[in-house]
């Protein structure tokens, strides 16, 4: 009965996805391989008559919904039996573990969906499945999570604070037809919103990711010439940016747009979803921005960014110093900018501004992703912890565009 869906993960988003999919008629297998999460969720559900509560607020109305999942398990053989759709709803660093665990259950025609997929998602799938199987499955890569959400009680009660109006993504159809029509199927599991808007080549979601340039340009702008002295308070993240940082972000974005253009012009693929960062801001936040004169003023006067501060660590002296262990670096470098750099390298497009920020970032992280002595190529000793195409041995234009060619 119903579409057989594996929801991978045990966090905020995974609970919402599992609850809504079950409410919309799917056979939901929630799978978490992390620690004892699956057991803890099962126990919490059992104590609640097997029901997962989703408090869903939308357009000012709050509904209490009770969902019944088919199973919660750590065991990929149980979760993955005859699966139609695998939905990854975890931070990008956790994708590989799930793909490897479910590999024996991934068959021609399975749909694999990253929500969010995050940069490098298609490379990771191709690298783990290998070229033959990878060509036979269908991929969906979404730019974000559909909801702002948080767990109220682990395993038992999750709250949806807001649902996006629409969500941008891309589909790569397999050579073997999928058992479900991917986008309509996912839409029916999520409900009316967000409206799923899938278009263009799957690489568009990787290249179009904004966090990889926004977070890193702002970090670089704030700290690259820092004198090492602690600060009495953490600087404002977006409201604190100056024209120089805005200009750097502009240039990094322009490099990515040039890369997208080179790929579309030479390979005939559609990468129109890769927007310049200024246009992206106008699209997503237009009505929240009071001064649109430059990129920097737009970011400084974006109402939804108000009050957000830099990630810092507070020392014994009570002073703030930058926290380079925060996800703005740990995610947006290995699961972000390094990947884009890796693609640019394969298409032989110079990216001096991205290079500058990457060189600085990896130094702060104590990692080597790009090797200075090899002309800044993506062959550093730490590429194993990235999703750059080079990490999976994908080094030609054909391999990067993926199998099958779209």
Contacts of 112 (CB under 8 A, 6+ apart): 86, 88, 99, 106, 125, 137, 138, 139, 140
Shortest Å, Cβ 12 to ligand NAI: 4
Answer whether 255's CB lies under 8 Å from 189's CB.
no
**Sole binder of ligand NAI in the list 4, 9, 28, 112 (CB under 6 A):** 9
**Judged by CB, which is closer to ligand NAI: 210, or 260?**
210
Contacts of 263 (CB under 8 A, 6+ apart): 203, 269, 271, 343, 347, 401
Shortest Å, Cβ 25 to ligand NAI: 23
- Which of 30-38, 128-136, 201-209, 222-230 is the region at the interface with ligand NAI (rule: CB under 6 A)? 30-38
Interface with ligand NAI includes 155 (CB under 6 A)?
A: no
**Sole binder of ligand NAI in the list 5, 32, 126, 351 (CB under 6 A):** 32
Identify residues 110-139 at the interface with ligand NAI (CB under 6 A).
116
Q: Which residue is nearest to ligand NAI (CB)?
A: 11
Answer whether 323's CB lies under 8 Å from 341's CB.
no
Token pair for residue 242?
Answer: 């100056």
- Which of 41-49, 89-97, 219-227, 291-299 is the region at the interface with ligand NAI (rule: CB under 6 A)? 89-97
Shortest Å, Cβ 162 to ligand NAI: 8
Q: Which of 95, 157, 201, 215 is catalytic?
A: 215
Interface with ligand NAI includes 205 (CB under 6 A)?
A: no
Interface with ligand NAI includes 148 (CB under 6 A)?
A: yes
Distance CA 137, CA 145 (A): 22
320 as an active site residue: the answer is no
**Sole binder of ligand NAI in the list 25, 97, 177, 268 (CB under 6 A):** 97
**Sole binder of ligand NAI in the list 3, 5, 12, 155 (CB under 6 A):** 12
Q: Which long-range contacts (CB under 8 A, 24 or more apart) does 208-212 make?
A: 208/143, 208/168, 208/256, 208/260, 208/273, 208/274, 208/275, 208/280, 209/118, 209/119, 209/143, 209/336, 210/277, 210/280, 211/328, 211/331, 211/332, 211/336, 212/119, 212/332, 212/336, 212/337, 212/339, 212/340
Total residues in contact with ligand NAI, by rule CB under 6 A:
19
Helix 243-267 / helix 338-346 crossing angle, nearest 10 deg: 40
Question: Could you list the residues that contact ligand NAI (CB under 6 A)?
Answer: 9-14, 32, 34, 37, 89-91, 94, 97, 116, 144-145, 148-149
Q: Which residues are catalytic?
A: 215
């Amino acid at each position: 009965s119903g579409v057989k869906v594996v929801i991978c993960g045990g966090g905020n988003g995974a609970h919402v996805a599992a609850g809504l999919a079950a409410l919309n008629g799917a056979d939901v297998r929630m799978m978490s391989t992390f620690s004892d999460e699956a057991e803890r969720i099962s126990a919490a559900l059992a104590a609640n008559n097997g029901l997962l509560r989703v408090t869903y607020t939308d357009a000012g109305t709050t509904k209490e919904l009770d969902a019944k999942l088919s199973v919660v398990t750590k065991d990929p053989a149980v979760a993955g039996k005859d699966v139609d759709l695998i939905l990854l709803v975890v931070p990008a660093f956790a994708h590989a573990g799930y793909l490897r665990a479910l590999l024996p259950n991934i068959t021609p025609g399975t749909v694999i969906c990253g929500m969010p997929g995050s940069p490098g998602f298609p490379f990771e799938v191709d690298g783990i499945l290998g070229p033959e199987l990878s060509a036979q499955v269908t991929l969906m890569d979404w730019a974000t999570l559909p909801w702002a959400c948080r767990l109220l009680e682990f395993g038992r009660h999750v709250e949806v604070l807001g649902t996006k109006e629409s969500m941008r993504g891309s589909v790569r159809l397999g050579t073997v037809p999928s058992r479900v029509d991917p986008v309509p199927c996912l839409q029916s599991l999520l409900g009316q919103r967000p409206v799923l808007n899938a278009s263009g080549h799957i690489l568009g979601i990787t290249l179009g990711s904004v966090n990889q340039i926004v977070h890193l340009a702002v970090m670089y702008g704030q700290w690259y010439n820092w004198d090492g002295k602690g600060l009495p308070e953490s600087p404002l993240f977006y409201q604190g940016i100056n024209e120089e940082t805005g200009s750097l972000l502009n240039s990094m974005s322009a490099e990515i747009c040039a890369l997208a253009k080179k790929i579309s012009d030479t390979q005939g693929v559609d990468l129109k979803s890769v927007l310049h960062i200024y246009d992206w801001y106008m699209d997503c936040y237009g009505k929240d921005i009071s001064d649109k004169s430059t990129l920097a003023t737009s970011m400084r006067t974006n109402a939804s960014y108000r009050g957000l501060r830099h990630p810092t660590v507070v020392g014994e002296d009570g002073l703030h110093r930058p926290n380079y262990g925060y996800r703005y670096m740990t995610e947006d470098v290995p699961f972000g900018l390094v990947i884009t750099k890796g693609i640019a390298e394969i298409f032989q497009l110079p990216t001096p501004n991205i290079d500058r920020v990457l060189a600085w970032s990896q130094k702060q992280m104590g990692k080597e992703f790009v090797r200075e002595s090899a002309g800044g190529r993506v062959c550093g000793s730490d590429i194993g912890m990235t999703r750059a195409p080079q990490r999976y041995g994908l080094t030609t234009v054909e391999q990067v565009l993926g199998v099958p060619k779209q």
